[in-house]
Structure 1
């Protein structure tokens, strides 16, 4: 394990995820570990995973954002009204530009809200807990005022692709191509990093350890693609698709795979981009420096106020993107969207190894934590567990994760 240089907490999370999956599969009679359920699980995790990427940077700076769920609900309403009422009057129904404008609007509105809250925290010195708690109430109430509590539906056809479903899946061939490109990128990236470390005289992993990590990473990618391609489109829909394209329908039917879902691809892209931002840019180094020692960071010339405001702005933009995915998945904008999402997002970041004391966290761990949290919820829904009990379990898991983080930090000292 030392030669592989893998964080033991990451291994622990993977082991916990395996226990959760196997346990729910046994309790559900084999219904959990099916391509259909795993595909749906990945889609359900996408919006939480995207927001968890931003929450990592917020918590690393020794702050918290309790308003992400309310921002999601408010931005979802704005995006829904834009598609159902505003844009059709200008562009007409089902215009090709509607979906792109709606997504840009969602990200922009979310980013502005985040910058506003970040400015209050950074420049006025108001604690983030108070600002975002107030934001939770303000934006949840504002979502109601946008439409006076009415649900807005349906969404633009191209916009709905962002939520997954049959239209939001890229198919088997495209999924295999994307998986192969991901494997090539993993191998090339790890080889380039190894070459750079050798060039500067830094220690590197043994060759066998490097090869093992490359192999395991590629196996995980290709395994995920295989599971996505094992989930077929329903026979009735497949038949209509075949008839529309003039393909004769055989007696045994046709197996048409969903492939990877678009929201999952977007979430993985956000995760990669946020990892690069956090670990390979000056901004990322400033964020972790502020979390490690704010006074020292400021004395070193870091503009801590601007950096902190930008962190909250980025969190708001990611919440806006998640709002687009959640709205597209429901094909409607509702006032209840995003309720308690802040709990799942914070829990995902903390379970993923982000320390509430600041200065420590990883985007990959947060996304894995989001998958753990969503697996718990999905498994309990599959078993018919009541919503109040689901909330109890999530709360206990969050408390346990914080205790575990404290115990780990004490062990390191």
Structure 2
């Protein structure tokens, strides 16, 4: 007869049980541990800055609807570019010129709206914002293609090409209007940057939120059905319900948050006077809802995820990042792919220029300054490996939110710009160190 160990007398038994439960949860839900780590870091940043403000300032401004709404808008332009930077870094390249591209495309669009288009289509033309945005994105694509051509077909290292691009295009933006600021921009164009009028309101936000929940449920159902058809192992039902519940819970929470932030009283009075609305004694509550730049970021994230995970282009990107020589031997045109990746990066930088200049309602030479640092940091923090071959779009967007949360939190508690730069640089180095540890443990 054999003796069975008594787990109640083993001091390590509770710890082992907790580890097993966590492992069972991760295996059952198939949630990426890096994703959990980023959410944990984000929660620590938000709670840390909020309680720091409560203790030392007498009020906590971090976890308020106003600040979190502004944080989402501020993250948009960095997040848009970070989705493209994932592809660049996955293929073992780097792009240091994205901030300068935001500046030169923003300045070009400002000049088009203020000096050129009014002469031909008239000031305030309803299509001016569309034409302007297309021109900005096209210019970014053209510059990105030029960078890609130099890198792929002239064998100049990406670091050198884009470092030169950073200097060239920043200088070009300055010379384009002799360093002067162009403001204001077209009234419709500036809605792309957010603000009280650049939102979809409470009803629109609920529609977007419910549609997103429906998409999540459909994707879970469709994924389970496909696994069953192809004979792959399926997640346990509790895992499916957990993933669906958490996803829909976060979506509904986001809708409640953006709807809890009202328009400023002055804007409400102007809106009521312009539309013959009587403001009650207690005031009129009008929700912001989701801002247009946030919806642009989410749309870019979805499209880029489909591009990366569901197309031959995406498979080729990761094949090149895993082993460029093997990818070339397998028939992938590595040079042409490199050019297309940098062209896409340029287009996304142009789109970020649209959002950034619209948010400021002006075009300045300082637009996009140091954005390249935040974009690269966002991609790396989001799990994109500088060694190539590994990266996710949603990780880059979360990384952008983490970086912007750090910057916003430091501004709220009164840290100097120099300290902010020290913190951001330290976080970037620490993120690369964690990536190295993760890859070593994964082997």
- TM-score, normalised to structure 1, is 0.99
Residue 236 of structure 1: how far off its partner (Å):
2.0
Q: Secondary structure at the match of 1:332?
A: coil
Counterpart residue number, 1:110? 140
Q: Separation in 1 of the partners of 2:372 and 2:91?
A: 17
Residue 244 of structure 1: how far off its partner (Å):
2.1
Counterpart residue number, 2:185? 155
Counterpart residue number, 1:23? 48
Q: Separation in 2 of the partners of 1:353 and 1:249?
A: 49
Counterpart residue number, 1:407? 437
Of the three residues 23, 31, 39, the one matched with 1:14 is 39
Instruction: Please state if 1:5 is matched with 2:35.
Output: no
Q: Separation in 2 of the partners of 1:301 and 1:83?
A: 45
Counterpart residue number, 1:274? 304
Any gaps of 5 or more consecutive residues in structure 2?
1-25, 55-59
Q: Separation in 1 of the partners of 2:295 and 2:211?
A: 13
Contact conserved, 1:13 with 1:352, CA < 8 A, in 2? yes
Q: Separation in 1 of the partners of 2:346 and 2:234?
A: 38
Any gaps of 5 or more consecutive residues in structure 1?
none
Counterpart residue number, 2:344? 314
Residue 143 of structure 1: how far off its partner (Å):
0.5
Of the three residues 173, 179, 191, the one matched with 2:209 is 179
Of the three residues 35, 56, 64, the one matched with 2:65 is 35
CA distances 1:154-206 after superposition (whole Å, capped 9, x unpaired) = 10000000000011111101110111111111111221122112111112211
Contact conserved, 1:243 with 1:249, CA < 8 A, in 2? no
Moved over 6 A (4+): none
Counterpart residue number, 1:291? 321
Q: Separation in 1 of the partners of 2:385 and 2:239?
A: 28
Residue 124 of structure 1: how far off its partner (Å):
1.0
Residue 243 of structure 1: how far off its partner (Å):
2.5
Q: Separation in 1 of the partners of 2:234 and 2:166?
A: 46
Q: Separation in 2 of the partners of 1:111 and 1:357?
A: 26
Q: Separation in 1 of the partners of 2:159 and 2:165?
A: 10
Of the three residues 75, 81, 92, the one matched with 2:105 is 75
Q: Secondary structure at the match of 2:133?
A: helix
Counterpart residue number, 1:240? 270
Counterpart residue number, 1:376? 406
Counterpart residue number, 2:121? 91
Residue 333 of structure 1: how far off its partner (Å):
0.4
CA distances 1:262-295 after superposition (whole Å, capped 9, x unpaired) = 0000001000100110111000000000000101
Contact conserved, 1:349 with 1:365, CA < 8 A, in 2? yes
Q: Secondary structure at the match of 1:21?
A: helix
Q: Secondary structure at the match of 2:235?
A: coil
RMSD: 0.7
Q: Separation in 2 of the partners of 1:128 and 1:380?
A: 33
Instruction: Please state if 1:345 is matched with 2:393.
Output: no
CA distances 1:32-56 after superposition (whole Å, capped 9, x unpaired) = 1000000000000000000000000
Structure number, greater radius of gyration: 2
- TM-score, normalised to structure 2, is 0.92
Of the three residues 243, 246, 250, the one matched with 1:213 is 243
Q: Separation in 2 of the partners of 1:351 and 1:170?
A: 31
Q: Secondary structure at the match of 2:28?
A: coil
CA distances 1:271-322 after superposition (whole Å, capped 9, x unpaired) = 0100110111000000000000101111111111111110000000000000
Q: Secondary structure at the match of 1:313?
A: helix
Residue 4 of structure 1: how far off its partner (Å):
1.1
Residue 222 of structure 1: how far off its partner (Å):
1.0
